[in-house]
Amino acid sequence: MTSATYIMALDLGTTGNRAILFDPNGQIVDQAYKELPQYYPQPGWVEHDALEIWRDTRWAMETVVAQAQINPVQIAAIGLTVQRETCLLWDKTTGQPLHKAIVWQDRRTAAYCNQLAEQGYTQEIYDRTGLVLDAYFSGSKLAWLLAEVKKQNPNLNLDNVIAGTIDTWALWNLTGGKVHATDHSNASRTLLLNLSQGTWDDHLLNLFGIPKSFMPAIQPSLGVFGKTDAKFLGQEIPIAAIFGDQQAALFAHGCDRPGSLKCTYGTGSFLVAHTGSDIARSKNRLLSTVAWTQTNQGQTQTGYAIEGSMFTSGACIQWLRDGLKLITHAAETEGLAQAVEDNGGVYFVPALSGLGAPHWDMSARGAFLGITRGAQREHMVRAVLEAIAYQTKEVVDAVNQDCGTSIQNLKVDGGACQNNFLMQYQADVLGIPVERPAVLDATAQGAAFGAGLAVGVWQDYAALVAGRKIDQVFEPGTNASSAQANFKTWQKAVSRAKEWATD
């Protein structure tokens, strides 16, 4: 290993795309970020322009190299981590998307999922995939996209159509159209992967009407997928790890064995617990998923996890800023929440895209309850932050029940973790310590760790994780009992918001 060996992480998220350079000590050297426009063509619909994602990815790569003043020949590998269930179809001869990408938050296929449930497919889909039958996942989105593009272009040559989640789209572009692949962690979020076999499930492809020829090859998460086309950075660079964003964060935190877990507070909140080499099944509607895969002596080793996916957390704060215009910057929420003694009786249900785990209610909608004439902006902002903590407690409680042993601490990351009020309230409502690392971009860090380990920049995963600095540990405080009492009131508010948008 030389001192000039860098790893680049590409973190292609829901609200923005980022490139981060890590040095040989695993520390951040520089980064470049651009916010990604969101498109809302109808209520409950969310789309991304895949060409914008690719343009911003290229921009971020070029910008971070220029800012860091390094030569691309010094980059040993690239690790890629992405928003997971967002998917698209594109023409492999032109490289053009056939429709905007449908984002994981999108609910347009809820009725279709309900039809499949009425036809009795819920249990079979869970048994095969570990996932609940929900519009969140890619399968129903790809079915909708295929039907839509065939309707818009009846003469479309399906032999030229390929599909993928955002990792597949980015990889295909990075390699100049040479590699059409994904990893097991992203594939496990599609409703189309047979979880126990680690391959595309022919029965489910037929059920959703997706030609197998559309689907990318599946490879282990750690390992070389291909090399970048030299026209991008003037250098071919191995792409040596691909993770779904939540699995990348799990990897960064060193959660590689049963009982270890983390929660990422991004656009949504995602609590993931590693369950070892066996598939764990939840009694509380948590998801069974792939943590990551790697090759050892020619054999693919799979680590599994259970996950609670909460659709709306940081997105609530973004909505306070862009939708309600109650704040100008996300950072204001901490001071506003601390400016009042309590929530003033106001509770918020963060169901702006329905409710995920453990409810899985596609028809739930966001709500403020308990509003009186005394309610002020500060109370509403505080109620939103409290709700982010409450929904995490629901999932922690579910993991405790499923695993049979109580979680002793929670490792956290993501942008919303910068909010000290939220982190303290999270510790209070859980009654356990909350550990915040110095590097909150754990998704990018995990991708970088995976890529560096895959190409031999680093040899020791445990030492790499041990070298991460902890910023602060939030201990339950004097407000813990009131926070836990308010949690029960919040659950009542959630019950009022469920099954709202039913036909």
Give residue for tokens 């990893």.
183
**Res 1: pLDDT:** 39
Binned at pLDDT 50, 70 and 90, residue 112 comes out as: very high
Q: What does the pLDDT read at residue 276?
A: 87
Task: Report, as an integer, the average pLDDT of 20-48.
Answer: 93
Q: What is the pLDDT of residue 3?
A: 45
Of the candidates 324, 314, 312, 426, the residue with the CA atom closest to the CA atom of residue 377: 324
Quick one: average pLDDT of 304-312?
Answer: 89
Q: DSSP letter for 293, please.
A: E
Give the model's pLDDT for residue 73: 93
Torsion angle of C-alpha atoms 400, 183, 267, 41, degrees rounded to 10 = -130
* Amino acid present at 434: V
CB 44 within 8 A of CB 104: no
Q: Is the pLDDT reported for residue 20 higher than 60?
A: yes
Task: Map 438-492 to HEC letters.
Answer: CCCCHHHHHHHHHHHHHHCCCCCHHHHHHCCCEEEEECCCCCHHHHHHHHHHHHH
Cβ atoms of 497 and 364 within 8 Å: the answer is yes
| Mean pLDDT for all residues in the chain | 93
Q: How far apart are CA 490 and CA 496, in angstroms?
A: 10
Q: Considering Cα of 420, then 422, then 425, then 431, what sign does the dihedral take?
A: negative
Convert the pLDDT of each residue in 280-296 to its tens digit.
898 888 999 999 999 88
pLDDT(351) > 60: yes
How confident is the model at residue 2, as a pLDDT? 41
Helical spans, DSSP H, in 226-329 = 230-233, 245-252, 314-322
Q: What proportion of the chain, given as a percentage, has pLDDT over 70?
A: 99
Q: What is the pLDDT at residue 258? A: 83
Q: Which amino acid is at 223?
A: G
Query: Residue 429: its pLDDT value, please?
Result: 96
pLDDT computed for residue 309 by the predictor: 84
| pLDDT tens readout for residues 160-203 | 999 999 999 999 999 999 999 999 999 999 999 999 999 999 99
pLDDT at site 347: 97
User: Does 52 score more than 70 pLDDT?
Assistant: yes
Span 50-70, average pLDDT:
96
- Domains in the chain with CATH codes: 6-256+456-469 (3.30.420.40)
Under 8 Å between Cβ of 448 and 80: no
Q: Looking at residue 489, what is its pLDDT?
A: 96
Model pLDDT for residues 455-483, shown as the tens digit of each residue = 999 999 999 998 888 999 999 999 999 99
pLDDT on residue 503: 58
In total, the chain counts a number of residues equal to 503
Please name the residues in contact with 280: beta carbons below 8 A apart, sequence gap of 6 or more.
Answer: 288, 304, 305, 306, 402, 403
pLDDT at 228: 96
Per-residue pLDDT reduced to its tens digit, 392-431: 999 999 888 887 777 888 999 988 899 999 999 999 999 9
- Residue 335's pLDDT band (cuts 50, 70, 90): very high
User: Do residues 165 and 86 make contact, with C-beta atoms less than 8 angstroms apart?
Assistant: yes
Find the mean pLDDT for residues 368-379: 95
- Which phi and psi (to 5°) does residue 350 adopt? -85, 55
Count CB atoms within 10 A of the CB of residue 336. 21
Give residue 121's pLDDT band: very low, low, confident or very high (50, 70, 90): very high
* Per-residue confidence band for 25, with pLDDT thresholds at 50, 70 and 90: confident
Percent of the chain with pLDDT over 90: 80
Does the pLDDT value for residue 313 go beyond 50?
Answer: yes
pLDDT tens digit sequence for 137-170: 999 999 999 999 999 998 889 999 999 999 999 9
